[in-house]
């Protein structure tokens, strides 16, 4: 399949109303490049982290209470090693953070994590 850089180079027919809409928006190239790949990659990474039931359970639990790993492991019904893996994924995405309290690491949501949960709550209202 040959890559084309302009819609005019494609051998397809486009409905006139669609062509008119595109022209009003600056043309096909403008529409095509209006969302950066960097944005798409960040969203893909975030959604990949959030697309796990155990990590979602952890986020919702942490929205109610700071917790240590033993509490999180109990909530997601996983051994510490698996729980640690999920914690790492959430920390790497910037949605949770750990603080030392004596011999314990206490996990909590970051402001970014709280914002993500607010978005998830709004999404729940529109899911069919």
In this structure, which topology does domain 41-126 adopt according to CATH? Arc Repressor Mutant, subunit A (1.10.10)
Let me know the angle formed at the C-alpha of 37 by 35 and 38, rounded to the nearest 5 degrees.
Answer: 105
Domain boundaries, the chain: 41-126
Q: Which residue has the higher pLDDT, 1 or 119?
A: 119
Q: Which pLDDT tens digit goes with each residue over 12-44?
A: 788 889 888 888 888 888 888 888 889 889 889
pTM of the model: 0.76
Nearest in space to 109 (alpha carbons), one of 50, 60, 71 = 60
pLDDT-derived band of residue 6, with 50, 70 and 90 as boundaries? low
């Amino acid at each position: 399949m040959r890559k084309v850089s302009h819609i005019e180079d494609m051998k397809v027919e486009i409905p006139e109303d669609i062509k008119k809409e595109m022209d009003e928006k600056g043309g096909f190239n403008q529409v095509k490049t209006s969302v950066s790949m960097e944005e798409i990659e960040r969203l893909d990474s975030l959604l990949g982290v959030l697309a796990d039931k155990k990590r979602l359970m952890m986020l919702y639990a942490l929205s109610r209470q700071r917790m240590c790993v033993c509490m999180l492991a109990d909530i997601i019904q996983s051994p510490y090693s698996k729980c640690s893996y999920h914690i790492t994924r959430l920390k790497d995405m910037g949605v949770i953070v750990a603080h030392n309290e004596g011999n314990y690491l206490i996990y909590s949501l970051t402001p970014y994590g709280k914002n993500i949960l607010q978005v998830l709550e709004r999404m729940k209202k529109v899911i069919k």
